[in-house]
Amino acid sequence: MASLATADICDAHIPLLNNGDVRVLQPIFQSYGTCRAFSGPIVTLKVFEDNVMVRELLETKGEGRVLVVHGGGSMRCALVGGNLGQLAQNMGWAGIVVNGCIRDVDEINSCDIGVKALATHPRKSNRRGVGEKNVVVHIAGTIIHDGEWLYADGDGILISKTELSVKVRSLL
């Protein structure tokens, strides 16, 4: 799925930004993976230092969706590693946003998906299988609903209530 530039979206949709239908996440995420710009409908997941449900979701067909993982902002372990990055690529996910850490950065950087995370950490997570999917999460100053749309690139991450387009103006 082609991605729109977040700056162009902001410029083209000022009324939606002003009324909150399009929201900008605080600029706290680092970029990983070969796909530096990605977009798609959101699947939300809320876990804490436990990646069992992350794997379970990434084992399903991604169909161009973006997994948004609210990991509580934990800096004590990684929720996504190289194996999950490869799994996400193979299953057709457009990207992953982790409010927490990832690991195996060299492996993730070779995957053809987009990944945004707060930082990296070498320690793996627990495996208890505790968490909630398809729930409202609050990440980087923004409330995110399952089914909304995410647009990410080098300039930032946007959340939209609906799929967006940008009209291209002719220079003629």
CB 163 within 8 A of CB 149: yes
Q: Which residues contact 77 (CB under 8 A, 6 or more apart)?
A: 49, 101, 121, 123, 124, 125, 126
The sign one gets for the Cα dihedral 32, 37, 43, 44 is positive
The H or E element spanning position 113 is: none
Binding-site entries for substrate: 81-84, 103
Q: Which residues are annotated as a binding site?
A: 81-84, 103-104
Determine if residue 133 is left, alpha or beta; phi over 0 gives left, psi from -120 to 50 gives alpha, anything else beta. Answer: beta
Binding residues for Mg(2+): 104
* DSSP H helical ranges for 35-116: 52-58, 82-90, 105-108
Buried b (16+ CB within 10 A) or exposed e, 149-165: bbbbbebbbbbbeeebe
